[in-house]
């Protein structure tokens, strides 16, 4: 093969290879440019807000109760306190409350100090033992009976009763879905009225309204110290409204 012909072939191969490289570089540049343009914040946008809500009935009743015992002998104080608490817990379990829904929250034995004026010194005059348990009740029919019976079992401190929802995320998702759907419909209507079109979502955010806690209404019932003996309290858990507020920014064209 003549040298001139061979050189022409090599030259043609180099030209073709160069063209391929240039095409690949061009495609890569276009891809990078497309990504860059996509990262830019659109100059024409519309922002809408909407609220979603759902109503849910609480499925958990939460409260705590304590036995507060006092005396000079810490062993006797602990024995008396444990006896009362054990009886109360056994009663609660007997009403169908599962072990997982009964939790010991505190066990505090503290000395009681007094000052002797004659001897000019402080001494321990006795001890106070406080044992506290948290309880969750799922069967609301049992709430009144349990609260009404605890004082007779030696419980002398009962915390406030409140209601909650166990699977909160489920209801938040329902409210969120409604809020975003309302936002989308609202944005489309606004765009239509202004003769533009919705292109894509640019940003979005949300804020949850949470779960308002209804307070129960019940019969006269002492909290702490001496209890007023009364009939089983009447409990009204009511319902809770879960709300989610969203803000969505759309690109328009």
Asked which of 164, 196, 223 is the last residue of a domain, the reply is 164
In a domain, 3, yes or no: no
Query: What is the full per-residue pLDDT of the chain (253 aa) written as tens digits?
Result: 554 555 556 556 665 666 666 676 655 655 654 554 555 566 788 999 999 998 888 889 999 999 999 999 999 999 999 999 999 999 999 999 999 999 988 899 999 888 888 787 898 889 999 999 999 999 999 998 999 999 999 999 998 888 888 888 888 899 999 999 999 999 999 999 999 999 899 999 998 765 555 444 443 344 344 444 445 556 666 777 889 999 999 998 8
In a domain, 115, yes or no: yes
pTM above 0.95, yes or no: no
d(CA 229, CA 233): 11
Number of domains in the chain: 2
Minimal CA–CA distance to 196: which of 116, 123, 250, 133? 250
* Domain region containing 250: 33-59+166-253
Minimal CA–CA distance to 161: which of 229, 107, 99, 234? 234
In a domain, 95, yes or no: yes
Helix (H) or strand (E) holding 143: helix 143-149
In a domain, 202, yes or no: yes
Asked which of 142, 164, 186 is the last residue of a domain, the reply is 164
* CA torsion angle 144 146 150 152 (round to 10): 80
Burial of residue 208 (CB within 10 Å: 0-12, 13-18, 19+) is middle
Which domain CATH number covers 127? 3.30.70.2970
Which domain CATH number covers 49? 3.30.110.170
- Spatial contact of 133 and 102, defined as CB atoms under 8 Å apart: yes
Minimal CA–CA distance to 158: which of 69, 65, 227, 226? 65
Q: Do both 230 and 188 map to the same domain?
A: yes
């Amino acid at each position: 093969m003549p040298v001139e012909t061979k050189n022409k072939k090599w030259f043609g191969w180099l030209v073709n290879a160069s063209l391929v490289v240039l095409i690949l570089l061009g495609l890569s540049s276009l891809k990078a440019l497309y990504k860059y343009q996509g990262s830019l914040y659109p100059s024409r946008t519309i922002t809408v807000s909407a609220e979603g809500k759902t109503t849910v009935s609480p499925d958990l009743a939460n409260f705590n109760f304590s036995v507060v015992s006092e005396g000079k002998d810490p062993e006797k104080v602990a024995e008396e306190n444990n006896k009362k608490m054990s009886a109360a817990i056994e009663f609660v379990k007997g009403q169908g409350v599962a072990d997982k829904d009964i939790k010991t929250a505190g066990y505090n034995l503290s000395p009681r100090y007094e000052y002797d004026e004659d001897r000019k010194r402080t001494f321990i005059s006795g001890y106070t033992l406080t044992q506290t348990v948290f309880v969750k009740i799922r069967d609301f029919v049992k709430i009144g009976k349990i609260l009404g019976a605890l004082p007779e079992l030696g419980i002398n401190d009962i915390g406030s009763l409140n209601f909650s929802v166990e699977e909160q995320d489920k209801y938040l998702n329902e409210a969120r879905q409604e809020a975003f759907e309302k936002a989308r419909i609202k944005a489309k209507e606004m765009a239509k009225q202004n003769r533009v079109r919705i292109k894509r979502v640019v940003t979005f955010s949300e804020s949850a309204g949470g779960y308002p806690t209804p307070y129960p209404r019940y019969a006269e019932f002492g909290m702490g110290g001496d209890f007023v003996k009364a009939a089983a309290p009447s409990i009204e858990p009511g319902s809770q409204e879960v709300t989610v507020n969203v803000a969505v920014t759309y690109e328009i064209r």
